[in-house]
């Protein structure tokens, strides 16, 4: 809003956008529209706002009903007045904003009742009037959540989102008035970090205007939230605070099972290709030295876990099982074509289509994206071409009752049963693997390649090398000192501290490190990925990713010294956060990995 005073004021909006208004001699507040000129008399410079860019023009003539202005280019523009006084009420632009807002809310409620659009929380005018008006304060709300079952953090229509549930809880607790319950924008809701579908956060921040007079407001909010979403604390801030703009950096954590760093099976396509390439390039001895600590893993697995299963089979069946077990691994995965897309590609069709188009001209490195994806699938236990059967039987429809009954799919053939048992044996062997100190150090060396200001155009989608926004700052990327053992499986915690991150960036960074370590690839391939060449890098599963916490060091210093406010500090809730992480995030990740990814 702007305010001014003079005996003759003119506000000019060019005719292709709006109208001309003569403002009476008084202090008047008017909104700035897409293009407007305001000036006083002839020869006075005025500011013309067009798309947020201000220009200076000169008023050549200012008479009632007509204004002629001269731009910097000296092109004459004639603007004719269509109305004096208030703005056109028919277009909803009258100066009585409260009346206009009431009319908009009535129209919105009418649409809701007609089923045209919806809001989860709506109240009648009588309920709103009965509640009365209470003061609102700008605050930072520190939250934590497990993202499983949610379509991301940000409110998105009727989708189930973290913010959606939090907003409902704020209304139910009385922290947001009933008058503002139908639109989060009324409360100036902003999130610090927008996490995607299924991604967790031990600490995140939203900023908005809340009614915080109730002493136990945090308890009331949490009582209206599911156990997988918690509010840690609420801190008063200055009125212009935006958690997104004032956030200095962010900490993320990625949990990864250590068997992801094992070399590919010698009989897999990737395993054979690595040996072939290293021999061709004359670096086979170097490749072997990189895999020295796990050189006997697959041989030991075959002897300990697989051989007892094969020994139980008769010779003919054993030969068929061995042939079937490794038949698909002799094929080049890049020659296979399928119409089925991964779930995350279906969610982002345009973005992933762009990524695929760029990948068509990618520079071929020691492994291709399809090979890498195949390698990840192998780690999940897909060691055979036979599809795992379920015990569920589909009830035939009425039209099919007279058709001859087909054999039940729940009955496995001897070959399928043996292969299924061997696949389970491979999974058991990988879960028993414990990473060596030298291999963990190799992981850390690979992570160190990311530290600094780098061009991460290959680690996201729809970014080119020349795009300035592809450059990001990574302050640290560390492997946790102690592996975590859950259900006999060893996990590593990888923590990255960066200023900001792009879509899929962390997942692609983790995938690149896993492939470099397990394939014995030189670390220079990571540095090459910052160059002009397009390199297709697969994404690690989103399951293990969680936002640890955002950092507000710059704001906290001002909050204490200038605003006399408390810091936004998650350390005050560390004990509760650790318990929540273990119960709602870590255990959930481990359960879902056990259930869905093996």
Residues marked as catalytic: 196
Rounded CA separation 20/68 (Å)? 12
**Cα–Cα–Cα angle for 30, 99, 6, nearest 5°?**
25
Closest CA to 472 of 447, 448, 446, 450: 450
Closest CA to 258 of 24, 480, 451, 476: 480
Block residue for tokens 């997104």 = 244
Q: How far is CA 502 from CA 195, 355, 358, 457, 462, in A?
A: 11, 14, 17, 9, 11
As a 3-state breakdown, the chain gives helix, strand, coil percent values, each rounded to 5, of 40, 20, 40
3-state secondary structure of 564: coil
Q: Where are the alpha helices (DSSP H) in 132-258?
A: 162-172, 217-223, 243-246
Rounded CA separation 67/77 (Å)? 9
* Sequence-ordered list of residues with C-beta below 8 angstroms from that of 132, at least 6 positions apart, any chain: none
| End-to-end Cα spacing for the chain | 59
Helices then strands, counting H and E runs in the chain, come out as: 20, 19
3-state secondary structure of 410: coil
Burial of residue 252, with CB atoms counted within 10 A of its CB: 0-12 exposed, 13-18 middle, 19 or more buried: buried
CA neighbours closer than 13 Å in the CB half-sphere of residue 70: 9
Block residue for tokens 């060091």 = 553
What interhelical angle do 315-327 and 414-431 show, nearest 10?
A: 60
Rounded CA separation 361/413 (Å)? 44
Block residue for tokens 């390649």 = 449
β-pair type (545-551, 200-210) = parallel
> Is the CB of residue 496 less than 8 Å from the CB of residue 506?
yes
What interhelical angle do 505-518 and 369-379 show, nearest 10?
A: 80
Closest CA to 328 of 369, 269, 368, 271: 269
Tell me which H or E stretch contains 394: none
């Amino acid at each position: 809003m702007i305010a001014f005073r003079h005996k003759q004021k003119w506000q000019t909006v060019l005719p292709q956008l709006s109208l001309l208004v003569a403002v009476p001699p008084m202090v008047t507040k008017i909104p700035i529209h897409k293009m407007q000129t305001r000036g006083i008399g002839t020869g006075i410079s005025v500011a013309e706002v067009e798309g947020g860019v201000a220009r200076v023009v000169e008023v050549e003539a200012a008479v009632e009903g007509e204004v002629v202005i001269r731009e910097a280019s000296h092109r004459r523009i004639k603007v004719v007045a269509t109305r004096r006084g208030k703005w056109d009420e028919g277009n909803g632009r009258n100066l009585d904003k409260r009346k206009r807002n009431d009319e908009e809310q009535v129209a919105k409620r009418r649409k809701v009742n007609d089923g045209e659009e919806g809001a989860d929380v709506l109240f009648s005018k009588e309920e709103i009037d009965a509640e009365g008006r209470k003061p609102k304060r700008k605050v930072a709300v520190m939250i934590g959540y497990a993202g499983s079952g949610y379509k991301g953090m940000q409110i998105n229509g009727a989708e189930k989102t973290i913010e959606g549930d939090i907003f409902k809880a704020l209304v139910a607790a009385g922290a947001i008035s009933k008058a503002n319950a139908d639109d989060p924008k009324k409360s100036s809701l902003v999130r610090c970090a927008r996490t995607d579908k299924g991604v967790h956060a031990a600490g995140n921040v939203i900023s908005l205007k809340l009614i915080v007079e109730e002493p136990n407001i945090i308890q009331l909010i949490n009582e209206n939230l599911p156990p997988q979403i918690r509010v840690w604390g609420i801190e008063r801030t200055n009125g212009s605070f935006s958690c997104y703009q004032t956030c200095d950096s962010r900490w993320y954590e990625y949990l990864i099972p250590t068997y992801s760093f094992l070399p590919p099976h010698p009989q897999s396509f990737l395993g054979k290709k690595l040996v072939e390439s290293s021999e061709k390039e004359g670096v086979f001895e170097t490749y072997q030295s990189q895999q020295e600590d796990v050189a006997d893993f697959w041989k030991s697995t075959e002897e300990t876990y697989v051989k007892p299963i094969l020994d139980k089979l008769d010779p003919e069946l054993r030969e068929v099982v061995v042939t079937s077990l490794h038949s698909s691994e002799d094929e080049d995965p890049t020659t296979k074509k399928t119409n089925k897309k991964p779930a995350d590609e279906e969610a982002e069709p345009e973005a992933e289509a762009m990524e695929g188009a760029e990948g068509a001209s990618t520079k071929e490195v020691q492994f291709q994206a399809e090979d890498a994806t195949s390698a990840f699938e192998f780690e999940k236990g897909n060691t055979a071409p036979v599809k795992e059967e379920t015990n569920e039987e589909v009830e035939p429809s009425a039209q099919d009752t007279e058709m001859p009954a087909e054999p039940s799919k729940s009955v496995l053939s001897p070959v399928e049963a043996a292969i299924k048992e061997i696949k389970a044996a491979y999974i058991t062997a990988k879960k028993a693997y414990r990473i060596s100190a030298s291999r963990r150090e190799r992981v850390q060396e690979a992570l160190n390649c990311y530290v600094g200001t780098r061009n991460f155009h290959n680690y996201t989608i729809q970014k080119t090398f020349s795009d300035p926004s592809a450059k990001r700052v990574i302050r640290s990327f560390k492997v946790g000192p102690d592996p975590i053992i859950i259900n006999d499986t060893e996990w590593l915690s990888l923590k990255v501290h960066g200023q900001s991150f792009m879509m899929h960036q962390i997942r692609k960074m983790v995938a690149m490190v896993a492939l470099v370590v397990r394939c014995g690839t030189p670390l220079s391939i990571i540095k090459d990925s910052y160059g002009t060449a397009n390199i297709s890098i697969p994404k690690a599963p989103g399951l293990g990713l969680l936002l640890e916490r955002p950092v507000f060091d710059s704001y906290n210093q001002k909050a204490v010294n200038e605003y006399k406010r408390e810091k936004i500090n998650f350390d005050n809730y560390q004990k509760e956060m650790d318990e929540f992480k273990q119960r709602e995030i870590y255990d959930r990740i481990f359960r879902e990995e056990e259930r869905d990814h093996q």
